Structure 1
């Protein structure tokens, strides 16, 4: 039986589904996971923050289901070879990747530009292509949810990159000693900076895009229709839905504190360290919240919701998500 998975992660829809698939499988067989993020080229601060965000979300999904995990990052043209070597040195006995990447390796499809589909495992380690099949309505709803998460996460990573947190050592190269750099559990971008403080030029990008940092909801106002319908269909995930609701309330309070910190620092009434702390706390919340929703709630919804449920959610999303996306796009312009 497999005991240690190496799971290749990215922030694509297929990458997010791969995390959920791998975590559920690891839980069922009692395995542990190393999440690996690869980038072929050196990245700017925002992209480095985004890479940490991807693994932080994956770890949150694993923790929610009690699966032991850690993360590793590699950057550069040699990253695929490094991953193949690390598969053996870390004792991994199964590699999990998106089914599309596996098809590309085997000459049956095309891989994403940042995928290392050609070389990602030692020759003697089996590779599992993770694929998720959904109904048309479910596919559209989940894609809209992932897009909303991606927009919020992108704005937050940009904010982190412009803050003093970008100088705290969080954004660093994934190459280390010719192998995968280990970032351990909970490598969440957001520990308060010990060096570097944001001046007005750094605060302005956060202030101008503050609304884009709000966590999106799949429903009107503060309601989450996905959770509401899931509660109607099953009690299996009541505890996790309750935790998600608690986290959302905490996130509302953290966002309010972030808004106050931005205003206070911008007006000169508070030191930049207050903004660093507020941004750090909010980032950790967002990665944890998104990871649990993508890795636990979405798979549960796929199992228990009916097609008419997905159509109801889709109808509620038509206006809400469209307006939010337009607003966020305008804020970035």
Structure 2
């Protein structure tokens, strides 16, 4: 049977779900995975934080952003594979995002199965099809189009969770961009902006945790199955570590009457926090959400979605 999967990873909901399916399938088959980041999928979901920068400087910045986003995607997928005990490797993102380029990558890395999300490159289907790579080294490669969970309440609830993940990721990338740009220019980042961004990041992380707590998301999963208990225990322990790392970042950024830490030290601490967060989000997306899709009942998902809506309404009312 299949022994080596090629799995394109992106940051849209269907890609995240397909990655979870692929990792679980590889675990059951005793197969290994090669992850391939697909950046155009992720870029399509990004908010425009700043105006486009023109010229060579803009091109260099865009290339840097692309590398950072690729590293994020890979860190999240790799963390999920490690948690499931699945051997993996990763390859650099390519400028090519066509299905033919993915098949070519599978041939290059000697994969015998490509796992993709429905609707990304082929017509939707929950079956195995065969694609052919043309040209030198052409070979048949099996393609698994991973089934998508189409239950409305499930999709709605998971979309809310993943939107929270994306908001946290965007805040971290904003910090990384500011610190690295300042470092490259030989200056300190603007302290007030840094403090505000760290506070915003802390608020987002707190909101993400409270959202799940209010809906009893982890508790409901524990009540339905013990299969994810160890992972849930680890993720809950990591919440404490997240708070510690944020406290350290806040101290390095400095207060009104205190200077910030040296830029190199701040950049290192932020990189550590980013890697920690990517891995945390990846384990939740690649281990907990697949288990929740499998074991939570329709009534559970309906209650969770309703609780998420109520929490969102409370947040909106608090802003007024």
| TM-score of the superposed pair, with normalisation by structure 2 | 0.78
Instruction: Work out which of the residue numbers 170, 193, 209 in structure 1 matches 2:197.
Output: 209
Aligned counterpart, 2:118:
99
- Computing the radius of gyration over CA atoms, which structure comes out larger, 1 or 2? 2
How far is the alpha carbon of 1:196 from its aligned partner?
Answer: 7.1
How far is the alpha carbon of 1:86 from its aligned partner?
Answer: 2.7
Distance (Å, rounded) in 1 between the aligned partners of 2:143 and 2:17? 16
Distance (Å, rounded) in 2 between the aligned partners of 1:327 and 1:280? 33
Deviation string 1:68-115 (CA, Å, 9 cap, x unpaired) is: 1121123335876554333122111111111112434x8x9xxxxxxx
Verify the 8 A CA contact 2:75 2:282 in the aligned structure 1.
Answer: yes
How far is the alpha carbon of 1:147 from its aligned partner?
Answer: 0.7
How far is the alpha carbon of 1:54 from its aligned partner?
Answer: 1.0
Deviation string 1:283-306 (CA, Å, 9 cap, x unpaired) is: 111111100101111111112212
Verify the 8 A CA contact 1:80 1:119 in the aligned structure 2.
Answer: no
Verify the 8 A CA contact 1:200 1:266 in the aligned structure 2.
Answer: no
Runs of 4+ residues over 6 Å off in structure 1: 117-121, 221-224, 323-328
Change (3 A) 1:276 1:326: farther
How far is the alpha carbon of 1:208 from its aligned partner?
Answer: 2.9
Equivalent pairs, count: 291
> What does 1:59-98 correspond to in 2, within 5 Å?
59-77=78-96, 82-98=101-117
Distance (Å, rounded) in 2 between the aligned partners of 1:256 and 1:279? 12
- What RMSD, in angstroms, separates the aligned Cα atoms of the two structures? 3.4
SS of 1:101's equivalent? coil
Q: Which runs of 5+ in 1 are unaligned?
A: 109-116, 168-192, 329-333
Aligned counterpart, 2:35:
35
Q: Which runs of 5+ in 2 are unaligned?
A: 44-58, 126-130
Structure with bigger helix share is 2
How far is the alpha carbon of 1:281 from its aligned partner?
Answer: 1.8
Distance (Å, rounded) in 1 between the aligned partners of 2:35 and 2:212? 35
- 1:146 and 2:146 aligned: no
Aligned counterpart, 1:112:
none
